[in-house]
Amino acid sequence: MPNNNIMMQYFEWYLPKDCSLWNNLAKDAKHLENIGITHIWLPPAYKGADGISDVGYGVYDLYDLGEFEQKGTIPTKYGTKDEYLETIKILHENNIKVLADIVLNHKIGADETEDVLAVQDDASNRNVSLTDTKSIRVWTKYLFPGRNNTYSDFKWNWTHFHGIDWDENTGTTAIYQFYGKHWDDDVDKENGNFDYLMGADIDLNNVDVVKELEKWGKWYINTTLVDGFRLDAVKHIRAEFYPEWLAEIEKNCDKKIFAVGEYWSSNINVINEYIDKTNGCMSLFDIPLHYNFYRASISNGNFNMSHIFDGTLVENNPSKAVTFVDNHDTEPGQALESWVLDWFKPLAYALILLRKDGFPCVFYGDYYGIPEKQINSKQEALDIFLRIRKYFAYGEQIDYFDDYNVIGFTRLGDYEHQNSGLAVVMSNSTGGVIQMKVGEKFANTTFYDCTGNIVETVQVDNDGMGEFSCKDGSVSVWIKQGQQVN
């Protein structure tokens, strides 16, 4: 992504049900533009099974954006449809593009049950059936009485799903595959076949389902005017679906749709294979990089920082990499908990925000804090990195990744952004000094550490070289003296 774009994930898991997120974001839009945010990833905006308390991933009605009395509420956890649309309008007025989080893998919270034939599959190997075909009672009828056919009269039943995880007759939790249905082959191979994730698993080979989801996608993008999508749980969806779906949606709007998928795997080969299978129709979150950050943060200095980018998407395919430090799934208490420790957060954010490759995403929980988990805001430190990216992180990049603990890099700046250019040094253990080139443009000038970690300045010599340092377990960012980042 050109022009130093920055995404912000504007939510975290533990926001209270009366959080007024849409209204708060509208008030925050000008501030976000000022610090350099160019894209906002919003949480799922439609009605979930848990009504006012649903984070958005327990999908009930894709068409109810906080407009109808369903699941005990009109607004969603984040507000009403009108507030959502107004917030998107205000973000656009502040030059911020909007990505909508959408979940097309499953549905939860059906209105009625049906009796169906199914087999129970082995949870650890879904290619193996544990029982003969038997009758079970399942929650698969979605009638949306509160919406009463507004926008769509499509009603969901068991034929629109592959399977489910609950038998109402016996009160048994298990993985049930419906008779005559088959898990899709072209999905992640974890658990033998990872088509099934949760709830009622949508059958994306069903022609009626695909047509309905295409209809919904066109309605959604034309109603909300969002600029793209964050695609949830793509490893559980057949690889052919999204290239076709996105192409169909894009034909019906007057702009290029940006999409980023969540393929949760630390295996770069699996991630690259998915990009190939989907013809590069979407970017992907750099999960391997997140895990490198996590391991480095808990290693007590025993992580080789010169290999921090090994096996990552930003190293292998930078144009498709959305880099991040943490998100709602990695928060403490969540199923994928792998929270990067606070002391390492500045190092990690420097590595995604100040380098030339990748599309960085800042997490709401880091920027504003997570009160539920007593996690404090890091806004003051992050604002420095965000402004450095906006004004100084340009030009050729030179890496100095030669030491186990102390690494650095420089950006030589460009002529379009006055006084752009910087030097970054960090250590996950004892601090150190690296002689680095900032370029002849800065020959015989003075640099200072704009993080405030080091008071002393650095004199750049006639060849554009300087000796830049950092303290123990910290990062220092050096820019030309006289330039301000606050």
Active site residues: 232, 262
408-411: long-range contacts (C-beta < 8 A, 24 or more apart)?
408/434, 408/436, 408/468, 409/354, 409/355, 409/436, 410/436, 410/437, 410/438, 410/439, 411/354, 411/355, 411/356
Tokens encoding 87? 């917030």
From residue 148, give the alpha-carbon distance in Å to each of 155, 333, 336, 347: 11, 38, 37, 52
Quote the CA–CA distance of 206 and 183 in Å, as a whole number: 12
CA–CA–CA angle 224, 226, 227 (5° rounding): 160
CA–CA–CA angle 31, 33, 36 (5° rounding): 110
From residue 357, give the alpha-carbon distance in Å to each of 159, 195, 250, 443, 452: 45, 32, 26, 26, 26
Residue type at 68 in one-letter notation = F
Strands 283-285 and 321-324: what pairing?
parallel
Q: Which helix (H) or strand (E) holds 84?
A: helix 81-93
Hey, how many other C-beta atoms are within 10 angstroms of the C-beta on 188? 21
Residue type at 367 in one-letter notation = Y
Tokens 């990499």 belong to which residue? Answer: 321
Half-sphere exposure of 143 (CA within 13 A, CB side): 7
Quote the CA–CA distance of 336 and 172 in Å, as a whole number: 25
Strands 446-449 and 258-261: what pairing?
unpaired
